[in-house]
Amino acid sequence: MGNTFKTGLLLGLLSALLLLIGQLLGGQNGLVIAFVFAVAMNFGSYWFSDKVVLRMYKAGQVGSDHPLHQMTARLAQQAGLPMPKVYVIPTDSPNAFATGRNPDHAAVAATEGILRLLEERELEGVIAHELAHIKHRDILISSVAATVAATIMMVASMARFAAIFGGFGGRDRGDSNPIALLAMAILAPLAATLIQMAISRSREFAADRRAAQIVGSPYGLADALRKIDATARRVPLDANPATAHMFIMKPFAGRGVAALFSTHPPTEQRIEKLLQPA
């Protein structure tokens, strides 16, 4: 319930930020156009994400004779989920992700590197984590957040032009403050990105906890996170930044200021929360 409330609050903040920009900008028609465009763009991404992302990483579907398929089938039954499609990604970097628009149209993908790296109980924790994302419909939540954040980016771009030309409506409008518009154009995308990242991090904590419930223990996933984190630093995944939030571990390293924009919480923090008594 805590994470549900937090996610709702963060989505509300994104929406409030969008409305604030619209009020300041004064260009309501432009705001509506930007919002409709963002909805259409992210609806397409949500609907076709499984095909696009799996093709992007050259993932190959495996059949019922593959050990990963058998493990996923067993865990999906324990989680009360329909059987997702199962894929293997041909890369040495250890990672995994889930995709698909809903539990009935879902897929789980794991890299060859993670299959070699982890013991069975650790891999079970990872697959259970991905099934938890499917059960929580996190792909829909991230799509909604991306829609609002993308709209904010577009409107902020409009605000930059408004600041240059003295606001929308030309010289007849005296209520547009170019300085305020310029400040909003700079700060709004930053705030939107941070809120979007906070939503993603919140969902990772929730998926970790649900994974422990599915397999009956948090220790396999905790050990898996340690191994993945250590190995991924040496063998990073050549991933598209737009898909970074989908993986169980951020595919590329980021420290200092860059860590603020990470789609994932620090591994140590995830393990600490995972091992806390319920």
**CA-CA distance, 12 to 7, in Å (whole number)?**
8
Mean pLDDT on 162-176 = 52
Give the long-range contacts of residues 7-14, CB within 8 A, separation 24 or more. 7/141, 7/199, 7/202, 7/203, 10/145, 10/195, 10/198, 10/199, 10/202, 11/141, 11/144, 11/145, 11/148, 11/199, 13/195, 14/145, 14/148, 14/149, 14/152, 14/192, 14/195, 14/196
pTM: 0.75
pLDDT surpasses 50 at 173: no
pLDDT tens string 131-148: 999 999 887 777 666 666
Phi/psi class of residue 80: alpha, beta or left (left: φ > 0; alpha: ψ in -120 to 50)? left
- Two tokens, residue 242: 């737009």
pLDDT surpasses 80 at 169: no
Mean pLDDT on 174-195 = 68
- Specify the pLDDT at position 82: 97
- Specify the pLDDT at position 139: 76
Query: Rg for the chain (alpha carbons), in Å?
Result: 21
The domain locations on the chain are 2-274
pLDDT tens string 24-57: 665 566 567 666 766 676 677 667 767 888 998 9
Higher-scoring residue by pLDDT: 227, 6: 227
pLDDT tens string 250-271: 886 554 444 545 678 899 999 9
- Specify the pLDDT at position 168: 47
Q: Are 153 and 192 in contact (CB under 8 A)?
A: yes
Active site residues: 130
Q: Are 154 and 34 in contact (CB under 8 A)?
A: yes
Mean pLDDT on 94-110 = 92
pLDDT tens string 227-252: 999 998 899 998 877 677 789 998 86
Kindly give the pairing relationship between strand 105-111 and strand 85-89. parallel
pLDDT surpasses 50 at 192: yes
Mean pLDDT on 209-223 = 97
Mean pLDDT on 76-104 = 95
pLDDT tens string 197-211: 777 888 899 999 999
- Two tokens, residue 90: 């041909």
- Specify the pLDDT at position 76: 98
Name the pLDDT band for 1 (thresholds 50, 70, 90). very low
State residue 178 phi and psi, 5-degree precision: -60, -35
% of the chain residues with pLDDT over 90: 43
Burial string for 265-277 (b: 16+ CB within 10 Å, else e) reads bebeebbeebeee
Sign of CA dihedral 29, 30, 34, 37: positive
State residue 275 phi and psi, 5-degree precision: -90, 0
- Specify the pLDDT at position 264: 84
Side-chain half-sphere exposure of 260, counting CA atoms within 13 A: 8
